[in-house]
Structure 1
Amino acid sequence: MEKQVIRRVTRRIIPFLVLLYVVAYIDRSNVGFAKLTLQSELGLSNAAFFMGTGMFFIAYALFEVPSNAILTRVGARRWFSRILISWGAVTMLTSLATGELTFYLARFLLGATEAGFYAGILFYLTKWYPKRHRAWIYGLFIFANPLSFVVGNPILGALSGLDGVLGIHGWQWIFLVTGLPAVILGVVTLRFLTDSPDQAKWLPDDERSWLTEEIARDDESSPKTSSILAPLRSGRVWFFVVQFLMIVVASYGLSFWLPTVVSGFGVSDAATGWLSAIPYVCGAAALYLIPRSADRRQEYFWHIAVPLVVAGVAMALSIIVHEPALRLAFMSVAAAGILGPQAVFWSLTSRLFNSAGSGTAIATVNSVGNLGGWLGPLAIGAIVDATGAATDGLWIIAGAAVVAAALVPGVAVLVRRLDRSVAAPSSTPASTPQ
């Protein structure tokens, strides 16, 4: 029964959620490709450009928790639809930017409209999957991250090459074309998505009952919270925030700066798109293998720490070497080490509270941690402006990955303490991750 239900649910919702997040990630990271022409045409320095990209993350942090609070009240189907349609429209309107202020405004609005989507999906999946399945399920979903680069980078490179067609700049083509799918999928979401297992008419009655009871049992075994806002005052939530901040500094630093480094190899825009996709093929493989191994072994902490250390070392080596092929190879290893553990990290984060507080906890970790998507590229841009070398700023990525790995022992202590506190009132001992 369990295998059958999990397989049926996964076939139904995961491919659709992956598609949605591929579109989301292309729309938030397309600015890295637009940078190749937008920056010079709008007269932006590296620091000003990354300040503009940071507006996205500031708005995201401000609106993430309120967005997830609304989602729990109105349901995922309607709220995700609203998010998709509004962010798609804002992405398309970004093509009208004329300078620093309008660029800053467009990025801020994109963050405000998209806020709650990623954390909302992570919370939504807790309604469909028991704890013991979440690492590999989160891995399947976060697979959308590298997939968005594998699919999107060649497309973005081709769109950038349309510069001047119909009198439209290449960076404007990028925003116009990539925003439209979100609007279309927002309408589809209203008809396709199901809010919770008890509403899933596509599940047989016995499977629907089993899954509903299993999720309720998991919820009972999670730490209780008095209100939806209680996680904001939890020290353990803020410890997870710090670790995720470091992971995001590394992840977004790589995604925003990779096209610039690859274009420095002296290749065309189209070739930059294809070559920039290679590290994310490695990231996709890591997202399949690492979470699957973690769930199979019920061991989570080494599956976070070791890949992050490998990522830090590989990124440092990519800076030291000068041969383009070697540099790209090391950056590919780094991408795998940064992306692979993220699903395992979120499987632990989802266990901090029961359903009453889990959405807020996930939203807090994601929203504040995502400020690293501003701080990392901003720091990299400032270093590159100061030194003139595109690779010097990559030390930020290497350092952030190692710091994130160093925080894993603290995460282990917190999670084991939570498991003991939940198991203590029960006469039946609960299994604890190693």
Structure 2
Amino acid sequence: MSSNTLAIDPVERSAIRKATWRLAPFLGLMFFINFLDRTAISFAGPHGLTKDLGLTATQFGFAAGIFFIGYILLEIPSNLALHKFGGRRWLARIMVTWGIVSVLFTWVSGVTELYVLRFLLGIAEAGFFPGAILYLSTWVPARHRANILALFYIAQPMTTVIGAPLASSFIQAHGFFGLEGWRIMFFGVSIPAIVVGIVTWFYLPDSPKDAKWLSAEEKRWLTGELAREDSAKREPHNGSIGAALSSGRVWLLALIYFGMIYGLYALAFFLPTIVSGFEAKFATKFSVFQAGLIIAIPYLPAAIALYLWSRDATKRGVRAWHIGIPALVGAISIPLALYMPTPETTVACITVTACAIFSALPNFWALPGRFLSGAAAAAGIALINTIGNVAGFAAPYVTGAVKDYTGLYQAPMIIVGAFMLLSAVLAFLVGREIRKGGEGTRAYAPLRP
């Protein structure tokens, strides 16, 4: 039996429970709004935006992907600013800023404006996701981190479960205030970012010692345990920003993350378009709302799979195969989806892909905090997310360009599978090093109290 399953001290149990349920759901709400705003273009594309602005698949893919150029440019500086100014202030600032930019999509009138706004949205959102990961990592010891990150990460698949029908409802309000449905959708999904950003300023404490909902004993335990963990990270790159950015461990994790994010965003940005293509391929007809429900189908099982897989990782300690097996399943299933003979089997295959991607991601993010702390953690986590989000630009752009060239989505989905296979292979290589007990792999070994 894993030592993670042994009985724990009542103060520890109480402190972890309070931190988890006070923070993870709220940051999950923030992540829900974040992912919905950045992927809103995927719902708008097949429901008027592409036609009204005269976009090709390549132009649509570029518009979806250019978000990540701005995002990448400010990712590391933003996370270092969060480390300096505190999570409460910086995450609130990020949300209000991206909400303001997102609202402006309501009035976009051409492809150039669309490119500019997507680029600015990336700049505005830069640092939110790695900042949220860093913030949560400073609240719980490593052995509890996979669980709190899983509860936070559930917001991402639930964005589509709830967000796709919600976006479809806004789109169906076509003509309200004289606006096209896709414009109403952009406005409707943007306002919550501004509202929740303001609430964030007052709701989030910066650290355990500032949490009024923790008892004095719980504060002492959390701060003492986190300080003990930080002091145990003895390797030279733990506190150095420069050394963290040049660390082989960090870059290996970044490459694994790249492949998974390539699959995530290829699926997120083009699934609505693929579903809209069912009409021509399978001679079916769906309303806008029905299409939204179909898009949501894969993500509810994905949320359940994410939670159960992460519970297993929490019990055993995160192993490399907690990342490698889902990545391998996704690598096989995502290209197969477009060769399925019916809409039902296509959606079933996409569901397997979604379950695979979302099962791997929260367990992946339990790894960097094992060997990085302080400013190095801020820089290292931001670098990993930055490299991963290069795939966020590449996936939609390459997918759109290859589709335009071939006329089909089969070839770009094979490319997606290849990148996810890369992630799986690298994760299993990490696992082999663990089993050999090689020097320099301790960061990936299962955690023990």
The answer to whether TM tops 0.5 is yes
Letter in 1 for 2:175: G
Residue from 240, 252, 262 that aligns with 2:253: 240
> What is the Cα deviation at residue 215 of structure 1?
0.6
Write out aligned runs for 1:174-323 (5 A).
Answer: 174-222=185-233, 223-225=235-237, 226-266=239-279, 267-323=286-342
SS of corresponding position for 1:347: coil
CA contact (8 A) 1:22 1:147 kept: yes
CA spacing shift, 1:240–1:414, aligned 2, 3 Å: farther
Query: 2: CA distance between counterparts of 1:83 and 1:379?
Result: 29
SS of corresponding position for 1:129: coil
Instruction: Give the structure 2 partner of residue 356 of structure 1.
Output: 375
Query: 2: CA distance between counterparts of 1:260 and 1:244?
Result: 25
CA contact (8 A) 1:315 1:398 kept: yes
CA spacing shift, 1:158–1:422, aligned 2, 3 Å: closer
Instruction: Give the structure 1 partner of residue 24 of structure 2.
Output: 14
Letter in 1 for 2:371: L
> How many residues were matched structurally?
429
CA spacing shift, 1:104–1:348, aligned 2, 3 Å: same
Instruction: Give the structure 2 partner of residue 394 of structure 1.
Output: 413
Instruction: Give the structure 2 partner of residue 35 of structure 1.
Output: 45
> What is the Cα deviation at residue 212 of structure 1?
0.4
> 1:177-210 deviations in whole A, cap 9, x for unaligned?
1110000011101110001111112100001000
Query: 2: CA distance between counterparts of 1:432 and 1:221?
Result: 16
> What is the Cα deviation at residue 14 of structure 1?
1.0
Instruction: Please tell me whether residue 95 in structure 1 is matched to residue 114 in structure 2.
Output: no
> What is the Cα deviation at residue 420 of structure 1?
5.5
CA contact (8 A) 2:58 2:404 kept: yes
CA spacing shift, 1:129–1:98, aligned 2, 3 Å: same
CA contact (8 A) 2:102 2:121 kept: yes
Letter in 2 for 1:47: T
Query: 2: CA distance between counterparts of 1:431 and 1:45?
Result: 47
Query: 1: CA distance between counterparts of 2:329 and 2:24?
Result: 29
CA contact (8 A) 2:143 2:447 kept: no
CA contact (8 A) 2:33 2:192 kept: yes
Root mean square deviation, CA, Å: 2.1
SS of corresponding position for 1:389: coil
SS of corresponding position for 1:29: helix
CA contact (8 A) 2:261 2:392 kept: yes
> 1:71-92 deviations in whole A, cap 9, x for unaligned?
1111111111110100001000
Query: 1: CA distance between counterparts of 2:355 and 2:362?
Result: 12
CA contact (8 A) 1:265 1:324 kept: yes
CA spacing shift, 1:432–1:20, aligned 2, 3 Å: closer
CA contact (8 A) 1:60 1:115 kept: yes
CA contact (8 A) 2:83 2:375 kept: no
> What is the Cα deviation at residue 110 of structure 1?
0.5
Query: 2: CA distance between counterparts of 1:119 and 1:152?
Result: 22
Letter in 1 for 2:207: S
> What is the Cα deviation at residue 421 of structure 1?
5.9
Query: 2: CA distance between counterparts of 1:184 and 1:415?
Result: 46
Instruction: Give the structure 1 partner of residue 3 of structure 2.
Output: none
CA contact (8 A) 1:236 1:414 kept: no
Instruction: Give the structure 2 partner of residue 426 of structure 1.
Output: none
CA contact (8 A) 2:321 2:431 kept: no
Write out aligned runs for 1:76-115 (5 A).
Answer: 76-115=87-126
SS of corresponding position for 1:203: coil
SS of corresponding position for 1:44: coil
CA contact (8 A) 1:262 1:272 kept: yes
Write out aligned runs for 1:97-176 (5 A).
Answer: 97-176=108-187
Q: Which moved more, 1:307-316 or 1:41-50?
A: 307-316
Query: 2: CA distance between counterparts of 1:432 and 1:382?
Result: 41
Letter in 1 for 2:251: W
CA spacing shift, 1:321–1:90, aligned 2, 3 Å: same
Query: 2: CA distance between counterparts of 1:420 and 1:205?
Result: 40
> 1:20-75 deviations in whole A, cap 9, x for unaligned?
11000000011100111111111111111111222210111100100011111111
Instruction: Give the structure 1 partner of residue 65 of structure 2.
Output: 54
**Given the two structures, how large is their TM-score scaled by the length of structure 2?**
0.91
SS of corresponding position for 2:367: helix
Letter in 2 for 1:144: A
Letter in 1 for 2:256: Q
